[in-house]
Copies of this chain bind each other. A is one copy, B any other.
């Protein structure tokens, strides 16, 4: 199985109450790829500038990430984001965004990227997401992230993009904004009526919720149609940048790596791996923690998460 992701490949400047970094590897496709790399072969698609050098490529390649579809634009600058967080780490404040080479991006996927079994369209302009989706028509499972900015400025394109994918993965506030429905269960159902068979609502420190298939009637939630996990409880959170992308990388990476099995139990395990990857991501700045992670640590935390969310005796691991 193989996974293609399109999205920003960037440098970030971040300041939190617990430290700061003036220039570090970042971007949605980077966080996603690092998280997914523990489960499957992942191929990020996107442009970088001259400033993206050997050090960055080597970090990605050290995790087995296939970098052939990272397009290096001569004379260009990589996407750059500067932001900060106050004591409420749930809220990112953007201080500067420089699109750089991303401003002229025209996706041209290699045959290998086009042949992916699983596709993730990270948060970029929705018409670009649709172009990538069209080039990757054979993917059996596809996901999409977006943000309030595109809901406000390119809603028709975004709705068209959503109608073409299997699983929407956005913040719960964005699901409400997209549908104009304040009740999350109703909002998720409205999204599924547009095409996707699944909706993941990211909830920051409160974790994530998965809506699938029939939502049932009021109160009963339907059969196997709702699942939720809390965020993994951490006493030290240093930088939440990339948490949502790491979640998505763990989720789609696990699904692709486990053979694309989309039954409810496997989707729930994927939610667990997404939660675990997001939790490691926020322990340190940028990609620092995930870059030196190993699969044993991931599985150990997955079992800890299982123990923290089950009513009774801990079932034996199935994987």
Contact = CB atoms under 8 A, between A and B. Distances in A.
Interface of A: 87-89, 182-186, 189, 203, 205-207, 209, 215, 218-221, 224, 226-228, 230, 232-237, 265, 268-269, 272, 283, 301, 304, 306-313, 315, 318
A209 B235 contact: no
A88 B228 CA distance: 21
B265 A312 contact: yes
B268 A311 contact: yes
Nearest to A182: B87
Contacts of A234: 183, 185, 218-219
Given A230-B228, A268-B311, A304 B221 contact: yes
Which of A182, A206, A233 has most chain B Cβ within 10 Å?
A233
Main SS class of interface, A:
loop
A308 B87 contact: no
Nearest to A306: B311
A310 B308 contact: no
B312 A315 contact: yes
Contacts of A206: 203, 206-207
B219 A205 contact: no
A278 to B, nearest CB: 13
Contacts of A269: 311
Contact of A218 (B185, B209, B235): B235
B312 A309 contact: no
A229 B234 CA distance: 17
A308 B233 contact: no
Contacts of A87: 182
B183 A237 contact: yes
B183 A235 contact: yes
B230 A218 contact: no
Contacts of A184: 205, 233
Given A183-B235, A184-B205, A235-B218, A309 B228 contact: yes
16 contacts: A183-B237, A185-B234, A206-B206, A206-B207, A207-B230, A209-B233, A219-B234, A219-B301, A221-B232, A230-B230, A265-B313, A269-B311, A272-B311, A306-B311, A310-B310, A311-B315
B88 A308 contact: no
Contacts of A307: 224
A182 B88 contact: yes
Which of A207, A227, A230, A306 has most chain B Cβ within 10 Å?
A230
A283 B296 CA distance: 44
A235 B311 contact: no
Contacts of A219: 234-236, 283, 301
Contacts of A221: 232-233, 304, 308
A240 B98 CA distance: 44
